[in-house]
Amino acid sequence: MVLRFIKLVILIPVAVVLIVLSVANRHSVTLALNPFRPEDQLLSFSAPLFVVVLAALILGVVLGSLATWLAQGRYRKQAKVEATEARKWREEAGKQRTRVEEATTRTLLTASK
């Protein structure tokens, strides 16, 4: 419940700011991808400023997430190996517990005779 409240406290102001910026920056800008000939129409496009800013923001988030995911690959691999090993040891402990229970049962049966 607290986490949901915190999300609302953060997301509502961010949404309001994005809406205000989008309305205020509706004029068209030309983004030239050729630094040597900016007037080249092949490598440029026109879009509202807020679209360019939001696209750059989204691209940054996606690239940052991808870089983080790739950087943490070795930790995920290690966690997978450790989980497999833990599963193996749990199975071994279960087998040993069964053996002890069987041995105890046999000992009790022979002692009661």
Q: Would you kindly state where each structural domain of the chain is located, as residue ranges? A: 11-71, 74-113
Return mean pLDDT, the chain.
Answer: 90
**What distance in Å separates the CA atoms of residue 79 and residue 29, rounded to the nearest whole number?**
48
What pTM does this model have? 0.62
* Nearest to 22, CA basis, from 66, 68, 54: 54
- The percentage of residues in the chain with a pLDDT greater than 90, rounded to a whole number, is 48
What average pLDDT does this structure show over 69-98? Answer: 96
What average pLDDT does this structure show over 67-75? Answer: 95
Q: In this predicted structure, what is the pLDDT of residue 84?
A: 96
Q: In this predicted structure, what is the pLDDT of residue 35?
A: 84
Q: In this predicted structure, what is the pLDDT of residue 113?
A: 66
